[in-house]
Amino acid sequence: MTKASISAYEQERLENIKQNRELLLSLNLVGDSSSVLGEPVAQRRIVNRNNAKKSKVRHSDSEDGDDAYGGGSKRRAAAGGVAMASRRSKRLRGEMAEAVTDVEERVVETGDVSELLLGAETHFAQDILAQAIKVGGNYTGWVEEGVMERLGIQGNATEAWESEGGGKFSFKDPLGTGKKITKKSVPSGQSMARFVASKLLKKNPNAYFYRHTEPGVEQWTGDWTDEERDVFLRIAKEYGCGDKWGLFSTHIPHRVGYQCSNYYRQYVIPEGWIIDDNYRIDSSGHAVYVGKHRRGSA
């Protein structure tokens, strides 16, 4: 089937499928040979049924196989005329492709990966689930009490905002001053987001602490200590977690909000220390967010 013989709608659909497929491959959620990109679903099924009837055949290595990727002759020359080992696709090895499942077909067409991901109850063993902290994806606390007292921060978000001049918040005017911030006002080498956050210590602590530690406190980088992990889990158990990471981080000296968020996705959820239904686990054991995307909920 050529592009000339299909409608514009079908061309657009196939292009969307291709883009979704590339995204899934990057997340390691489907195999690289589980479907033929750009072919209609029905046609892929026919191809896979035919392949399934054939026995596996391994062809001998050939110069054509290496040169198909445009590097065979160079590799042989570099090795003194001997072909170097290289990764080869199943097609070049003469092996049949894996059959496409109905689930994979829906995922590739829609881009919805949820059917390929596992919930905590399925992924983790019962002993891990029994000890895990359950959260709903929301942090319900405020700035850590000691930090709040030292810096003179008000007792809740509304009071903090109003006590520092109020104004109407928007993503174009995060300071609520009614004045647009230009790149010229940002110090050289600093991002706009970090600069804006630095102005919001008392007015919007969540935004400030997402990128900054308490003034005078060094920010640590690198691996988290066991003590930091224990504090993280204790605060999550008491106040929940999953958003407002700037506020959450005030309980963990030397760490900022985005570090807490990264630690949550890369370690806490994959290890099963916390169960959050907004996340699923992929085939590589990585946490994938499947909840509602909330703009500005750092």
pLDDT, one tens digit for every residue, the chain (298 residues)? 554 566 777 777 777 777 777 776 766 665 554 443 444 444 444 444 444 444 433 333 333 333 333 344 443 344 444 444 444 555 555 665 555 556 556 666 666 666 678 889 999 999 999 999 999 999 999 999 999 999 999 999 999 999 999 998 888 888 988 888 888 888 888 899 999 999 999 999 999 999 999 999 999 999 999 999 999 999 999 999 999 999 999 999 999 999 999 999 999 999 999 999 999 998 889 999 988 865 545 5
pLDDT at 66: 37
Domain shared by 19 and 72, yes or no: yes
Statement to judge: residues 138 and 75 lie in one domain: no
Last residue of a domain, one of 96, 116, 136: 116
* pLDDT for the residue numbered 184: 83
Identify the domain containing residue 235 by its residue range. 122-298
- pLDDT given at position 20: 76
Q: Give the pLDDT confidence score for residue 284 in this predicted structure.
A: 86
Are residue 36 and residue 91 in the same domain, yes or no?
Answer: yes
- Determine the pLDDT at residue 67: 36
- The predicted structure's pLDDT at residue 8: 74
The total domain count for the chain is: 2
Residue 102: its pLDDT value, please? 60
The domain boundary residue, chosen from 116, 148, 168 = 116
User: Is residue 145 domain-shared with residue 89, that is, in the same domain?
Assistant: no
Q: Give the pLDDT of residue 84.
A: 44
- Residues 184 and 97 placed together within one structural domain of the fold: no
Q: How far apart are CA 206 and CA 146, in angstroms?
A: 16
Do 33 and 131 belong to one domain?
A: no
